[in-house]
Amino acid sequence: MARRVAVLISGRGSNMVSLVEAASGPGFPARIALVLSNRPDAAGLERARAAGIATAVIDHTQHPTRERFEQAMDALLVEHGIEFICLAGFMRVLTDWFVERWTGRMINIHPSLLPLFRGVNTHRRALEEGVLIHGCTVHFVVPELDAGPIIAQAAVPVVPGDTEESLAARILVQEHRLYPQALRMICDGTARLENGRVVFSNDWDAGGALRSPSP
């Protein structure tokens, strides 16, 4: 039975679209049952509707506290029978309460090779540091920001003349490949969180968890 997944967004939702497309393929162990945004104007909402996916908005500015905002989200997720959450450009920091409620069932995609460059402006910082390999990471969400156990990573080269935009675009291509693979892995049991570590099953395949495309 396909797992019921919610994708949480705040913006354009290109990763959400890649998850929706992957999940609509035959045999995928998840289906996107809900796209939830904290911003009514998130462009991704329209893209989700166009794909026939149920959408909802819980506007954080309409809730007096972070806790109340999260309680409203949690209630909606439960109402929709959601089993796993994918954060995809969701720009609200989550409280320990929410994170702990969804431990092992909530994943995020981050545009760097963690543990390098947690937080924002990852491409700018990668260029400033002069790294030659950069990338993206899918990880389980833990209370500490961008610090969760790693499920899958993809690497890209940094090439002379790169700008934040060119690097972001090169990485986004990999994000769109990596995130569906990671979702598949947690939904079919290939990767699971155990005592704060990711445990991979015997049929773990490097091709699913690591991507290192040639320049």
Which residues carry out catalysis?
110
The conformation of residue 91, written as its DSSP 8-state character, comes to -
**What are the backbone dihedrals phi and psi of residue 62, each rounded to the nearest 5 degrees, phi first?**
-95, 5
Distance CA 107, CA 62 (A): 26
Instruction: Name the residues that contact ligand GRF, by CB under 6 A.
Output: 9, 11-16, 44, 88-89, 109-111, 136, 175
Distances (CA, A) of 113 to 20, 26, 119, 184: 24, 30, 12, 20
**Euclidean distance between CA atoms 144 and 124, whole angstroms:** 22
Choose between 143 and 204: whose C-beta lies nearer to ligand GRF.
143
31 within 8 A of 5, measured Cβ to Cβ: yes
Structure tokens at 48: 């989700």
Least Cβ distance, residue 143 to ligand GRF (angstroms): 17
- Cα separation, 176 vs 126, whole angstroms: 20
Cα separation of 116 and 134, whole Å? 9
Min separation Cβ 136 and ligand GRF, Å: 6
> In this complex, which beta carbon is closest to ligand GRF, that of residue 174 or of residue 190?
174
Q: Give the residue nearest to ligand GRF (CB).
A: 89
Smallest gap from Cβ 15 to ligand GRF, in A, equals 3
Which of 39, 184 has the CB closer to ligand GRF? 39
Helical pair 43-50 and 14-23, crossing angle rounded to 10 deg: 20
d(CA 49, CA 144): 32
Phi, psi dihedrals of residue 122, rounded to the nearest 5°: -65, -40
In whole angstroms, the minimum distance from the beta carbon of 9 to ligand GRF comes to 6
Structure tokens at 113: 């090779």
The distance of closest approach from Cβ of residue 69 to ligand GRF in the complex, given in angstroms and rounded to an integer, is 19
